[in-house]
Structure 1
Amino acid sequence: MTVRHGLRRGVAVVAVCGVFGGAGVGTAAADPEVVEPVVAEAPAVPPPPEGAPPPPDPALVPSSPAATTTSPDGWTLTLSARDETQLVIPPLTTAISTREYEVGGIFSASMTGPEEAEPPRGSLEVGYQIGCGIDMSTSNGVTLSGNIGLTPGLVLAGAGAVPTALTPIGGGLTVALKPGIINTVPVSKKEFEGAEPWVMVDGFRIKIDGCVGESFIRSYAFLTRSTPVSDAVLAWYGVTKKV
């Protein structure tokens, strides 16, 4: 009888342990599952196909056709440019009214005339013109003005008068703007002797101040053939670029 009673008690203990063990398992299964965030990778940019031309240089600008003329003494003058670049550069002053550019190009001339004539001589000037929609460089710019005064007075109060004083304060803001202006920036003026002068510009920076609104830039070249008694001048202007 004693043995049987002990077995029954042991079974009861095992059953209770089984109940608590099942409860523990159930609690563990109810915990939320931790999910790692998935970071989407940027799609890979495919390389350019083999043999494809490189992307265009944003600084490159087209050149105007060559300019030509014939002088009264029989000389033909020709003036042109190639490989021009014009790139907008953030100004060192950080002022919004400053325009700065990095420019370059090859400007060349040729002159042909009578075979018995002496080699031509003269000058070749190269530079740039920058047009501004609104000009602040030759005006007073922004002007602040103000005034203050004192006005005494009397106010009747009961049987007497109370002195008072008013201090009016006024002010104004004046912005002086002028119509657009064209700024000419010479870069080089070459004195030469020969039939084919040229000027090369590379990585040259030009800057103007007091320019508000839209701006435009273009290159220019002036060819002058000189003799003791005459000058023949030929002008060439590049393509206008809006910036």
Structure 2
Amino acid sequence: MSEASPSTFADRQVSKVTDDGWRVTAIKSQEQVRGVPPLNQSSWTREGFLSLKGEGVIAGTGSIPVQSGTVAAGFQIGCNTDVTSGATVGVSGGPSAQMNISYPPAVVIGATVTPNISTTLRPGTIADIPFGGKKMQIGKAGITVDGVHVKVDGCLGPVALRAYVTVSVSTALNDNTINVYGEPHYL
């Protein structure tokens, strides 16, 4: 089987002015989703590779100094129908659809990186999978992940993925959170 070329999604950004007068921007860029035939050749497995860059920017002249800020990036992932219980199509197996995400360990200073993530997906639910968070020590910070492996087992039908970037800013008076989302893609 041939490998699918990656789907590349348009860059997006959302800017808002906080109650304290700061312009906060969440930027999603370099998003790619590449679905591949699963190595186990199972009809119940979806596999792919994800890339994403998330940036946060704090600009302007607010009335109250910014005490802290963070930028986080990741994907929301959902399974259409869990078939591992056997109730849907008579397949026996574990208690629920399983998702595993891994990417090579990286040396990252000042950021949170989780090299292996696994969660349980149930029909009709969406799992929020953070790829990292970074403190904003100056007015700008970012997170870039490239070629993150994703595998979902025990799922009948497509697996939906949607990228997100969240920027949070805190002053002595207010906390503000800005989000930007990508378009859905299906494995």
Higher relative contact order (CA 8 A, sep 6+): 2
Distance 2:146 2:177 in 1: 25
CA distance in 1, matches of 2:32, 2:142: 17
Q: 2:17 aligns with which of 51, 70, 86?
A: 70
For structure 1, the residue ranges without an aligned partner over 5 or more in a row are 1-56, 144-172
Residue of structure 1 equivalent to 2:126: 182
Query: Does the 8 Å contact 1:78/1:110 carry over to 2?
Result: yes
Is 2:168 the partner of 1:221? no
How far the C-alpha of 1:86 sits from its partner, in A, is: 0.8
Alignment CA distance shift 1:120-1:194 (3 Å): farther
| The one of 106, 128, 134 aligned to 2:53 | 106
Partner of 1:131: 78
Could you say which residue in structure 1 is the equivalent of 2:143?
A: 199
Asked if 2 retains the 8 angstrom alpha-carbon contact of 1:75 and 1:114, the reply is yes
Return closer, same or farther for 1:195/1:130 CA change in 2, 3 Å cut-off: same
Amino acid at match of 1:186: P
> 1:83 offset after TM fit, Å?
2.1
Q: Determine which of 43, 46, 51 is the counterpart of 1:96.
A: 43
CA contact (8 A) 2:19 2:174 kept: no
Give TM-score scaled by structure 2 length. Answer: 0.69
Quote the sequence identity (%). 25
Structure 1 residue 119 displacement after superposition = 5.7
Are residues 174 and 105 of structure 1, via their aligned partners in 2, closer, same or farther at CA, if it must alter by over 3 Å?
closer
- Based on CA coordinates, which of the two structures has the bigger radius of gyration? 1
- 1:204, 1:223 → 2: CA distance? 22
Q: How far has the Cα of 1:90 moved from its partner?
A: 3.5
Count of residue pairs brought into register by the alignment: 155
- The answer to whether the Cα contact below 8 Å between 1:134 and 1:181 also exists between their aligned partners in 2 is no
The one-letter amino acid of 2:151's match is K
The amino acid of 1:241's aligned partner reads H
Aligned CA distance change for structure 1 residues 228 and 213 (closer, same or farther; 3 Å)? same
For residues 228 and 60 of structure 1, the distance between their equivalents in structure 2, rounded to whole angstroms, comes to 42
Give the structure with the higher percent strand: 2
RMSD (CA atoms): 2.9
Q: Which residue of 2 aligns with 1:81?
A: 28
Do the aligned partners of residues 136 and 73 (structure 1) sit closer, same or farther apart at CA in structure 2, a change above 3 Å counting? farther
Q: Which amino acid aligns with 1:125?
A: A
Q: Which has the larger helix fraction?
A: 1
Please tell me whether residue 239 in structure 1 is matched to residue 176 in structure 2.
no
The answer to whether the Cα contact below 8 Å between 1:224 and 1:234 also exists between their aligned partners in 2 is yes
Q: Is the 8 A contact 2:28 2:181 kept in 1?
A: no
Provide TM-score, normalisation by structure 1: 0.55
